[in-house]
Amino acid sequence: MIKGLFRFVGRLFHYVWVWLDAVRRTVFNLVFLLLIGAVIAFIWRPTPEFPDGAVLVLRPAGALVEQARIEDPLELFRPAGTRVSQTSLRNLLDAVNAAREDERIQGMVIETDGLSAASLSKLSELRQAIEGFKESGKPVLARGERFTQGQYYLASVADEVHLSADGFVLLRGLARYVSYFRNALDTLGVKVHVFRVGEYKSFSEPFTRSDMSEEDRASTRDLLEGLWGVFRQDIAANRGLEAEALDHYIMDFGAALNASGGDAARAALAAGLVDRFSTRDEWRVLLRQRFGASGDDNGAAGADDEGEADEGYRSVSVSRYLAEIRSAPVHPDRVAVLVAQGGIVDGSGAPGSVGGDSLVRLIREAREDEAVKALVIRIDSPGGSAWASELIRRELEITRATGKPVIASMSSTAASGGYWIAAGASEIWAHPLSLTGSIGIFAMIPEFSEPLARLGVTVDGVSTGPLAGAFDPRRPMEPLAAEAMQIAIDHGYKRFIDTVARARNMSARDVDFVARGQVWTGEAASKLGLVDHLGGLDEAIVAAAERANLRFYDVVWPESRLSPRDLLMQRLGEMAAARGWFGAAEGVTGTSSALAVLVGTLQRDAEALLQWNDPQHLYTHCLCEGP
């Protein structure tokens, strides 16, 4: 009886505990759902319209990219200095182009302090859009606490450029320096077997040489001089300077500093690079005087997207402005723009890379979508997996065969595998400062037999054929395997040449003459027959619409399907940016410490190598991402 009583009490406590635990979890979940509901209700509250007569504020933060990655809003709570922001070039172009004809916008303000990385071609494309904005007669003002080279290239397009009295304008020129690991690998006893075609295919040289080859040096010099020539011409034209005067400031900066008593800001003013000095408070007063003060009585613009609270003048940020003007597609006909940004890899690919399978899936979906009448592939890639590049090119070719036009638009870099993709298009557009070409192929296979032997590790075994285990990095490479690999590389190069020859209606001999791994600017490539037209993304979209005989259409940007979590993170990030809850420029500066540059470079190179996953170990990649 006592045992039965204990058993009954035990069961009673068990059921009570289960009930209490269920109540606890239910209450906790209800509280959590109420909290989420409150957050969502706060996020989705109506956004006030911006006032008439506002100025559009451009504050690009972090790196200027074709397609910004999804940023976890929790990253916003990290300490300053750990956040890496990205700004979408597409968003800036859409806002600037729309504001040109918008009577509610009376001018533009550019503040460059948060911009940390941007290629010349992207900045040039943005500058061209701002030039079009200026043609409407609306003023453009720019300011920076200091100007790095890229920041100043953007700011110099303005009608009036302001600089902090303690700032500087640092124009250093262009350079490309590569780390070479041959001596380190020899010290460790690591061998890297390289198979390639093309004396200009320099991507493998850091692992096989201790210095730059003469072919790479000559090619790099030509590229940099071409890019630098456009850079200095643009600045001289906007600032009303003689090119020689600009050269004097750049080439003899020490003399310019001496003439101004060591004051870098006054040296820039004397050289005509800036118009006047202003502190932050003086800048805000000036903008209020020029464009009118904001306030509750006239519909203050509130916080702007790059993080500063309303500063008292009538303004609207890019995010706020785009939220106002963008709407769901209304036209039955559409032009789809697909972005291929980053290294090309086999499979789906990680964020920041071009996954062959994932991009092929997007192309197929666009082809099968009856509303999509034309396709633009926007390429910003130095290449990568030859296998994945061919998969993407073939899918574009299939799309063309169905009657849908396919236009390739080259961003900063569309070289090697990036050019292989472009060969699948009906028409290729490139910016004059794009880097393209690098038609070549290579393979690299490491061997660690010597360092393992030094450690006392030996490798032995049996095989059923001469190629079985031939590429095991623990063993010396078999001569037969090396011969087979070079034959495969030669065949891959011939296939690359033949593919380009068919796409460009050229002979294989003519393609080989401009190939062999050479990298060209978009302007040079157009003269060599590798590119059809010079122009930016907008021109490529218009060309696609014209080929499809579209007069009215919407432009859509299909992306890979996101998980519910990623969709929520994306929406939260967009709302946080639009409301200026967090300073996007926080932790992002135009300059970095020397140690940060070194560590960042090594980390970037290591991450790129880890992405190499071509099933045949064949790669079409150039060491040529745009400066």
Both structure tokens of 326: 């963008």
Closest among 247, 181, 170 to 208, alpha carbons compared: 181
Alpha-carbon distances, residue 410 vs 420, 500, 533 (angstroms): 12, 16, 11
Please give the Cα distance from 324 to 335 (Å, whole number): 22
Both structure tokens of 521: 């600017």
Please give the Cα distance from 445 to 193 (Å, whole number): 5
Please give the Cα distance from 14 to 375 (Å, whole number): 64
Beta strands in 356-394 (DSSP E): 372-381, 383-385
- What are φ and ψ of residue 520, in 5° steps? -125, 155
All residues at 6 or more sequence positions from 415 whose CB lies less than 8 Å from its CB, including other chains: 381, 382, 383, 435, 436, 437, 438, 519, 622, 624
What sign has the CA pseudo-torsion 169, 170, 173, 179?
negative
- Report which residue type is found at 367: R
CB atoms within 10 A of CB 199: 15
Both structure tokens of 253: 């900066």
Closest among 543, 562, 554, 580 to 94, alpha carbons compared: 554
Burial of 223 (0-12, 13-18, 19+ CB in 10 A): buried
Our answer to whether residue 381 is catalytic in this structure is no
- What are φ and ψ of residue 194, in 5° steps? -115, 135
Please give the Cα distance from 591 to 200 (Å, whole number): 32
Closest among 107, 74, 20, 562 to 290, alpha carbons compared: 107
3-state secondary structure of 412: strand
Over its C-alpha atoms, the chain yields an Rg (Å, rounded) of 28
Cα–chain-centroid distance for residue 574?
18
Please give the Cα distance from 33 to 31 (Å, whole number): 5
Please give the Cα distance from 399 to 406 (Å, whole number): 7
Please give the Cα distance from 236 to 137 (Å, whole number): 21
Q: Which residue shows structure tokens 């904001």?
A: 294
Q: Residues 368, 404: contact at Cβ < 8 Å?
A: no
What sign has the CA pseudo-torsion 384, 390, 391, 392?
positive
3-state secondary structure of 169: strand
Our answer to whether residue 527 is catalytic in this structure is no
Question: What b/e sequence results for 121-154 when a residue is b if at least 16 CB atoms lie within 10 Å of its CB, and e otherwise?
Answer: bbbbbbbbbbeebbeeebbbbbbbbbbbbbbbbb
Q: Residues 392, 355: contact at Cβ < 8 Å?
A: no
Give me the catalytic one of 201, 373, 385, 412.
201
Please give the Cα distance from 185 to 207 (Å, whole number): 8
Give me the catalytic one of 88, 317, 416, 426.
416
Question: Any idea which residues carry the catalytic annotation?
Answer: 201, 416
